[in-house]
Amino acid sequence: MQQPHFWRISSFEQADVQQPVPRSTAGRSRKIVMALGLTGALIGGASLAVAQDANTEALKPAILSLKASKTLLLDVELVGERLVAVGSRGHIVYSDDQGESWLQAPAPTRQLLTSVDFVDDRHGWAVGHDSLILHTSDGGESWSVQYRDPEIDQPDEENFGFLEKPLMDVWFRDARNGLAVGAYGLLLRTEDGGQNWEDASFDVDNPDGFHYNALTEVEDSGLFLVGEMGTMYRSTDYGYSWETLEEAPYDGSWFGVAGTGEAGGVLAWGLRGNMFRSTDFGDSWEQVELLTPNNGPLESTLSGGQLTADGRVVVVGVGGVVATSDDHGRGFKVTVRSDRVALAGVAGLPDGNLVLVGQRGAMKTDAQGVSKSSSAALTLPEPAATEE
């Protein structure tokens, strides 16, 4: 079993900040190149070629593309009047017209970004592969790197193979205190708005290094963390001490978790349409029955979801599944979109409409997840229609 690693903390407050003097010359050249790459990323690629020749690990800025809002996006968040979504190739897109049109923000990476969280209209964090943490202080229009897996630049020679540790979710309590969680039990914590990230992986009892997939705040209770192989943790002090839930209701992986809007109310979901609900912050669980429009049991994987500002719970999944609940997760209405595209995240708009993100980017839909201009090309003969 893979031992947890001891991660060096590095700070990337500014890309061109002087790095500590490294011990080995090989290390130095990598560091310099890394700094060059970051500088290049921020000033627009002038020094890009230099960085590329010397070290392919250097960060390259995301390519600005008209297709950025039409390719894989994994998370979307409503920030005041603005929607911000993150996804593949360092794409960060934002919309100021409720998801009708999108602009791409320059971002200093081309890695897959998995999650985004804002504490107010201006301050937000995005996380992704390479344990990247990006920060914005202007509502998502520009981003800088706060943290990146230090092992990429200082590979541990003793180790057998590099362990890829993507961050999967990020949550901030306020502009200073936040957590980022990810694969192999990685948990990072900051108390100064991300200027310094501390590896707090050992705070959680996760000897097997299971992946953490999602983290959420539960009304009047604390934080709830879910992951691989049915793992569940909760924290009543917002991330300093973690309690393992031994009596997990299910041993498959959890892909998402959300509060229900009621005190102590938690919803967790994962593979093959499995969804469980707790009203007591995880002490006891009951399964939520999800039925397809044909009244068969839903068997698609549920990926992302959230409690919207107006109290609805919306969960989306692969195969174009959109499940919505108006009663704090007691019952869900399931829509299977005709395009059957894999969905990863959702944001609820004040007018009740939804913005979905997934394999084909962002889509604005009605409250049930149906696109207004439904693509007629992709219609599927349903079994129900043929049954006599």
Partner 1 sequence: MSMSDQEEATFMERLVFNHRLMVVVLFTLVTIFLGYQATKIRPDTSFEKMIPLEHPYIVNMIEHQDDLASLGNSIRIAVAIEDGDIFSSEYMETLKRINDEVFFLPGVNRAGLRSLWTPNVRWTEVTEYGFDGGPVASRPAYMTEDDLNELRVNVLKSGEIGRLVANNFKSSIIEVPLQESYPNPENQSELIRLDYGEFSTMLEEKIRNEFQNENPNISIHIVGFAKKVGDLIDGLMAVMLFFAVAVAITFCLLYWFTWCIRSTMAVLVTTLIAVIWQLGLIHLIGFGLDPYSMLVPFLIFAIGISHGVQKINGIALHSSGADTALLAARRTFRQLFLPGMIAILADAVGFIALLVLDIGVIHELAIGASVGVAVIVFTNLIMLPVTISYLGISKGAVARSKRYAASEHPFWRFLSNVAHPRVAPIMVILGLVAGVGSFLYQKANLEIGDLDPGAPELHADSRYNLDNEFIISNYSTSSDILVVMVETPPEMCSAYDTMEAIDQLEWRMNNVPGVQSTVSLVTVGKQVIMGNNEGNLKWQALSRNQDNLNNAISRAPEGMFNSSCSLAPVLIYLNDHKAETLTRATDEVKAFAEEYDTDTLKFKLAAGNAGIEAATNEIIASSELTILVLVYLWVGAMCLFTFRSLPATICIVLPLILTSILGNALMAFLGIGMKVATLPVIALGVGIGVDYGIYIYSRLESFLRQGMPLQEAYYQTLSSTGKAVLFTGLCLAIGVATWIFSAIKFQADMGLMLTFMFIVNMFGAMLLLPALARFLINPEKVRNKKDSFLQH
Give the binding site for partner 1 (CB under 8 A): 49, 52, 56, 60, 63, 65-67, 71-72, 74, 88-89, 110-112, 114-115, 129-130, 152, 161-164, 166, 168, 211, 213, 228, 251-253, 255, 271-272, 301, 303, 318-319, 340, 342, 344, 358-359, 377-381, 383, 386-387
Which one, 117 or 228, has the nearer CB to partner 1?
228
* Residues facing 306 on adjacent strands: 314
Which one, 241 or 379, has the nearer CB to partner 1?
379
Question: Which residue in this structure is represented by tokens 């200093």?
Answer: 108
Cα–Cα distance measured from residue 179 to residue 304, given in angstroms and rounded to the nearest whole number? 18
> Cα angle at 217 between 91 and 297, to 5 degrees?
80
Q: How far is the CB of 81 from partner 1 (least distance, A)?
A: 27
Q: Give the number of residues written for the chain.
A: 388
Cα–Cα distance measured from residue 214 to residue 209, given in angstroms and rounded to the nearest whole number? 15
Cα–Cα distance measured from residue 99 to residue 236, given in angstroms and rounded to the nearest whole number? 35
Cα–Cα distance measured from residue 91 to residue 88, given in angstroms and rounded to the nearest whole number? 6
DSSP character string of 295-310: SSBP-SPEEEEEE-TT
- Structure letter (DSSP) for residue 164: P
State the greatest distance between any 2 C-alpha atoms of the chain, in Å, as a whole number.
76
Return the H-helix or E-strand segment holding 199. Answer: strand 198-199
Q: How far is the CB of 72 from partner 1 (least distance, A)?
A: 6
Q: How far is the CB of 129 from partner 1 (least distance, A)?
A: 5
Q: How far is the CB of 228 from partner 1 (least distance, A)?
A: 8
CB 324 within 8 A of CB 343: no
Which one, 123 or 129, has the nearer CB to partner 1?
129
Amino acid type, 13? E
113-118 β-sheet, strand order: 113-118, 124-128, 133-136, 144-147
Q: How far is the CB of 46 from partner 1 (least distance, A)?
A: 14
Q: How far is the CB of 344 from partner 1 (least distance, A)?
A: 4
Q: Is 294 left (phi over 0), alpha (psi -120 to 50) or beta?
A: alpha
Which one, 310 or 382, has the nearer CB to partner 1?
382
Give phi and psi for 136, each to the nearest 5: -130, 145
